């Protein structure tokens, strides 16, 4: 029994017409009738009820129709998968990311993607942390990147990397002469902070509370770039991901100091909508994240 026969049978049931099924399959009406007759002989019972106006399935025909539709649909999926594997991966994948990661840490991922899949484009949307979750859940982005990832209904979390944090100050600030800066030294010093809803701000507030220390935010901002500009102007110090300050350090407009207590870092995670099938382009982007991370370890 060939799939073509099953398809013709399904077309007859769906259209209610032998002639229409013949047109869909580019054969004669007689050829369709022969295929249906062969199926009925195989199962030794009528599968279709023929009337002057329409063709309808018998109970046995209805059961065969449902089963055949499942078989044909699965076969079409397999054919598509095989065709995709034979073709070069290409397409565009949307990645929603917080500013401090997207602007400074994805160059290695872009390079890796260009090397392995030059026809795949990674389009970045710069968003606030909570908006990244919404984009992934609602399907506006295939992949999301957030700091301090938290479990949330509708998303799966994949670890990406840990960002090292450092104290950032202007070259004219007293901290600039120190090799390291302690958390205690930061207590009461004018501080340029992320806004209160930012996960990094919440984590720093928690860290200082655990040490019974007080931060003194004089400005609160939602963007790492504006925080750096304020620090450059001497309005205060900040705690920022080390990777976001490399250009300013090279230009000698900012200085970064490690913590005297030891390394402090923030986790970065990748978000994928739970249960979502990733197309080949999105899977290639995800692989580029993994390879870029592995090459840096």
Asked whether residue 104 carries a pLDDT value surpassing 70, the answer given is no
Q: At what angle do helices 29-43 and 3-15 cross, to 10 degrees?
A: 110
Are 33 and 59 in the same domain?
yes
Contacts of 2 (CB under 8 A, 6+ apart): none
Domain-terminating residue out of 86, 104, 137: 86
Q: Domain of 156?
A: 91-161+267-294
pLDDT digits (tens, 9 = 90+) for 36-49: 999 899 989 999 98
Q: Are 188 and 215 within 8 A, CB to CB? A: no
Are 100 and 78 in the same domain?
no
Q: Are 198 and 222 within 8 A, CB to CB? A: yes
| Number of structural domains the chain divides into | 3
Are 157 and 273 in the same domain?
yes
Asked whether residue 297 carries a pLDDT value surpassing 60, the answer given is no
Domain-terminating residue out of 65, 86, 107: 86
Contacts of 188 (CB under 8 A, 6+ apart): 214, 216
In CATH, what number is assigned to the domain containing residue 185?
3.40.190.10
Q: Are 249 and 176 within 8 A, CB to CB? A: no
What mean pLDDT comes out for the span 240-253? Answer: 92
Sorting pLDDT into bands at 50, 70 and 90, what band is 294?
A: low
Sorting pLDDT into bands at 50, 70 and 90, what band is 180?
A: very high
The pLDDT of residue 143 is 94
Identify which of 151, 162, 155, 89 has the alpha carbon closest to the alpha carbon of residue 122.
89
């Amino acid at each position: 029994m060939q799939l073509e026969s099953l398809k013709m049978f399904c077309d007859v049931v769906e259209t209610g017409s032998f002639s229409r099924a013949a047109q869909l399959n580019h054969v004669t009406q007689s050829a369709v009738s022969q295929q249906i007759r062969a199926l009925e002989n195989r199962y030794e019972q009528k599968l279709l009820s023929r009337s002057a106006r329409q063709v309808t399935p018998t109970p046995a025909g209805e059961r065969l129709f449902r089963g055949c539709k499942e078989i044909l649909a699965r076969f079409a999926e397999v054919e598509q998968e095989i065709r995709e594997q034979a073709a070069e991966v290409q397409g565009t994948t949307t990645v929603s990311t917080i500013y401090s990661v997207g602007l400074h840490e994805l160059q290695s991922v872009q390079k890796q993607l260009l090397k392995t899949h030059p026809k795949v484009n990674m389009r970045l949307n710069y968003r606030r942390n909570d908006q990244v979750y919404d984009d992934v859940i609602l399907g506006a982005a295939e992949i999301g990147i957030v700091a301090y990832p938290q479990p949330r209904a509708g998303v799966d979390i994949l670890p990406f990397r840990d960002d090292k944090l450092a104290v950032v100050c202007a070259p004219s600030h007293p901290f600039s002469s120190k090799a390291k800066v302690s958390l205690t030294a930061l207590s009461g010093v004018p501080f340029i902070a992320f806004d209160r809803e930012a996960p990094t701000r919440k984590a720093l507030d928690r860290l200082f509370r655990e040490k019974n220390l007080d931060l003194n935010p004089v400005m609160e901002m939602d963007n790492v770039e504006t925080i750096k500009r304020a620090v450059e102007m001497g309005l205060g110090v900040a705690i920022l991901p080390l990777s976001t300050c490399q250009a300013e350090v090279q230009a000698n407009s900012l200085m970064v100091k490690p913590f005297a207590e030891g390394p402090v870092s923030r986790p970065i995670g990748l978000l994928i909508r739970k249960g979502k099938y990733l197309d080949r382009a999105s899977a290639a982007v995800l692989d580029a994240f993994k390879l870029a991370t592995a090459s840096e370890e």
